Chain A
Amino acid sequence: GAVVSQHPSWVICKSGTSVKIECRSLDFQATTMFWYRQFPKQSLMLMATSNEGSKATYEQGVEKDKFLINHASLTLSTLTVTSAHPEDSSFYICSARDLGLGKSSYNEQFFGPGTRLTVL
């Protein structure tokens, strides 16, 4: 149980176009989903937190108009990179959390396999 999928696993796009990445919790309801970005040989940096049915909370320095997050259902969150530029090329990873699956005193996040975005 507790499987999170992402689609696509990799995408190449032209500069100026928009790209949508999907994150799905396959066997549980994700009350909260998180979007991270990871540059080569660097750690995961949290971009935003989204709760189902409400607006996402963005971390400082993350442009909310550029990285659109929608969490319309308990099993799906999407990240749209608008007007992508080469510097947006990165590994985007989502994670999901369900309070119902949390171990005592700790609510584990389950990570997706990531989406590698390359902007030409």
Chain B
Amino acid sequence: QKEVEQDPGPLSVPEGAIVSLNCTYSNSAFQYFMWYRQYSRKGPELLMYTYSSGNKEDGRFTAQVDKSSKYISLFIRDSQPSDSATYLCAMSAHSSASKIIFGSGTRLSIRP
């Protein structure tokens, strides 16, 4: 079993829709949860990070962490064609951890 599971998609939604991206994990030691966006042939860029359980909002993006269920989500409101990318969840156990474990990524396409 992988430490982090993420549905690879592809996921295609119309512009303006609410997008829900999810990951599950098995390591209860994970404390830091991140979402990265990666455009084709580019390096990933950090969208949001959350420590422990709870919600965090940044503009059209909301990250949720449910440690009891080992389940994290990223919601994108009012989705735009420019949001089309691969979204990677990632997590690590400690604040100074040398290792981040990535999900396989979900390919998202927003149709105009």
Q: Which residues does A use to contact B, with CB under 8 Å?
A: 4, 6, 32, 34, 41-46, 49, 57, 91, 93, 95, 99, 102-103, 105-109, 111-114, 116
For B99, what are the chain A residues with a Cβ–Cβ distance below 8 Å?
46, 49
Instruction: Decide: B88 and A44 in contact? CB cutoff 8 A.
Output: yes
A-facing residues in B68-112 (Cβ within 8 Å): 88, 95-96, 98-100, 102-105, 107
For A111, what are the chain B residues with a Cβ–Cβ distance below 8 Å?
36, 43-45
Chain B residue at minimal CB-CB distance from A4: B43
Instruction: Decide: B104 and A43 in contact? CB cutoff 8 A.
Output: yes
Q: Give the docked Cα–Cα distance between A32 and B105 (Å).
A: 25
Rounded to whole Å, the gap between the CB of A107 and the closest CB of chain B is 6
Q: List 16 A-B contacts (CB under 8 A).
A: A4-B43, A43-B6, A43-B88, A43-B105, A44-B44, A45-B102, A49-B99, A91-B41, A93-B43, A93-B44, A95-B43, A105-B51, A106-B32, A106-B51, A107-B95, A113-B42
| Chain B binding surface SS class | loop
For B43, what are the chain A residues with a Cβ–Cβ distance below 8 Å?
4, 6, 93, 95, 111-114
A-facing residues in B28-43 (Cβ within 8 Å): 32, 36, 41-43
